[in-house]
């Protein structure tokens, strides 16, 4: 891994995969309102990789609107609803390196 990331910790998984927890910024746009918010969080990057794996955001749990709604609300410290609707079209995201703000995953049409 290069020094282009803010690293919070380095760990080794039970499968002997070494990875680092790096700081990222999630830009989240609500397609119903057009409002955009930023949420700071962490993502995992395997040793030898230049960017974190985006699978959880593109195909995994964080690809669902119900989870993206939680990140959207947390970005403004808003209360989370007790019930949410799943889907895959209300929110789109762009993932940025928190250190240099360069995107490494982008769903926005540019």
Q: What is the mean pLDDT of residues 7-17?
A: 67
Q: What's residue 24's pLDDT?
A: 95
What pLDDT does residue 70 have?
A: 96
The predicted-structure confidence for 54-96, as pLDDT tens digits, reads as follows 999 999 999 999 999 999 999 999 999 999 889 999 999 999 9
Q: Report whether pLDDT(110) > 70.
A: no
Task: Say what the pLDDT of residue 29 is.
Answer: 98
pTM: 0.88
Q: How far is CA 107 from the centre of its chain?
A: 12
Please report, for the chain, the start and end positions of each structural domain, with discontinuous segments joined by +: 7-106
* CA separation for the pair 62, 5 (Å, rounded): 21
pLDDT for the residue 58: 95
d(C-alpha 61, C-alpha 73), whole Å? 17
Q: Degrees (nearest 5) of the Cα angle 97, 98, 101?
A: 60
């Amino acid at each position: 891994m290069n020094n282009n990331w803010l690293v919070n910790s380095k760990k080794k998984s039970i499968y002997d995969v070494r990875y680092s927890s790096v700081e990222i910024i999630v830009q989240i746009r609500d397609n119903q309102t057009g409002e955009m918010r930023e949420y700071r969080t962490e993502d995992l990057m395997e040793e030898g990789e230049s960017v974190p794996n985006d699978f959880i955001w593109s195909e995994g749990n964080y690809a669902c609107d119900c989870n993206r709604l939680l990140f959207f609300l947390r970005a403004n410290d808003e209360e989370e609803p007790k019930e949410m609707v799943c889907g895959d079209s209300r929110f789109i995201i762009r993932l940025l390196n928190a250190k240099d703000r360069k995107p490494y995953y982008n769903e926005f049409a540019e």
